[in-house]
Amino acid sequence: MTRTSNGAPPGPPPADRDGSQGFLAEVKDAVSVRAAVLVFGVLALQLAFITSYIGAFHKPEPHRIPLAVAAPSARTAEQTADRLSALPGDPLDPRTAADEASARRQIENRDVDGALIVVPGGAPDRLLVASASGASLADALVETVGRAEEAEGRSLEVVDVVPDAPGDARGLSSFYLVVGWCVGGYLCAAILAISAGARPANIHRALIRLGALLLYSIVTGLLGAVIAGPVLDALPGSVPALWGLGSLLVFTVGAITLALQGLAGIVGIGLAILLVVVLGNPSAGGAYPYPLLPPFWREIGPALPPGAGTFAARSIAYFRGNGAGGPMLVLAGWSVAGALITAVCALRRDAPSPADAPESGPPSTAGRTDG
């Protein structure tokens, strides 16, 4: 046994006598201040996730659903539209159409979500819906217009003019395809950050990351379109068009993640999840299309990648691409902004600091001899 100079055995270290200081030291060693801050960030992200999803889905109510109204006379159509627009809570946004054929074209062009065809002679009126735009939206139209017709002593016949595919239950396959593409985009960017540092050291490495992300996007865009289309027979429509959408969407989400990592380091991954998952998914119009969402989610949905991707995917699958132009421009804008921010952040890191600049003054004569 080791003894001290006076012959007594050594006592425990002062920090360990009551165990308190030793335990605190262990805690500080096991959980750094940086880790504790990140854990609180995760807590905030988790609570935001719960709030966003429950807030968006807990009480869906129709709000200004675009509806075409056609009747044998323009006066009857206007009167019917005025009556529907006066419903409490503004559940409908009716506008007149010249005839049934015009109303159908508006549905197929995604200008409206349904159409009411007034039939004279006491026969049931016809409500044209498009369940491919979302079964919950079609159900809301049937319920809202049905109550209005019943109040007028009229009956209603429902006709689904753009039904969803047999393998696309309630029109949700396009939404889940988009969610899968988004997950791939930010995970790919996150892996690039984890493996080689959140912030690229120079512009060349930033461009290499963007190039790797582009290749990944092209591959996963194709595979997702093939799985949703020919393999599972869930979505009809053009596979090349879905491939292009998927590639753009994956690159967009990945570029956003790279940009946020360039600005905030590893925290950028959490910010990307906040933008795409916490805010983007519940506002995407998947389970409940935009007219059924609360105001906040209804407004931000079309401007975020999941919402733009879901609307474009449904347009490609069921509406011959009608209405997909705007969402594709939204995705293109996000992707360009993400790539530019990533490059600018890398350029700023690559630029020499003033401390690295050579000092001014006469050239050194060390190592030289006078001739």
Residue 326: the pLDDT is 97
Residue 237: the pLDDT is 92
Note the pLDDT tens digit of each residue in 116-137. 999 998 899 999 999 999 999 9
Q: What value does the mean pLDDT take over residues 221-227?
A: 98
Lowest-pLDDT range, 190-194, 210-214, 226-230, 261-265? 190-194
Domain boundaries, the chain: 65-160, 169-351
Q: For the stretch 149-176, what's the b/e string if a residue is b when 16 or more beta carbons lie within 10 angstroms of its beta carbon? A: beeeeeebeeeebbbbbeebeebbbbbe
pLDDT band with cut points at 50, 70 and 90 for residue 61? very high
Which is higher by pLDDT, 342 or 199?
342
Query: For residue 13, is pLDDT > 80?
Result: no
Torsion 133-135-140-141 (CA) sign: positive
Grouping H, G, I as helix, E, B as strand and the rest as coil, residue 226 is helix
Angle, to 10 degrees, between the axis of helix 239-264 and the axis of helix 305-318?
180
Portion of the chain with pLDDT greater than 90, in percent: 75
> What span, in angstroms and rounded, lies between the C-alpha atoms of 189 and 74?
56
Which is higher by pLDDT, 240 or 30?
240
Task: Determine the CATH number of domain 65-160.
Answer: 3.40.190
Note the pLDDT tens digit of each residue in 79-109. 999 999 999 999 999 999 999 999 999 999 9
Query: For residue 2, is pLDDT > 60?
Result: no
Residue 9: the pLDDT is 56
CB 200 within 8 A of CB 209: yes
Residue 17: the pLDDT is 52
- For residue 80, which of 92, 62, 65 has the smallest C-alpha distance? 92
Q: What does the chain come to in residues?
A: 371
Query: Which phi and psi (to 5°) does residue 68 adopt?
Result: -85, 145
Q: What is the pTM of this model?
A: 0.85
> What span, in angstroms and rounded, lies between the C-alpha atoms of 45 and 48?
5
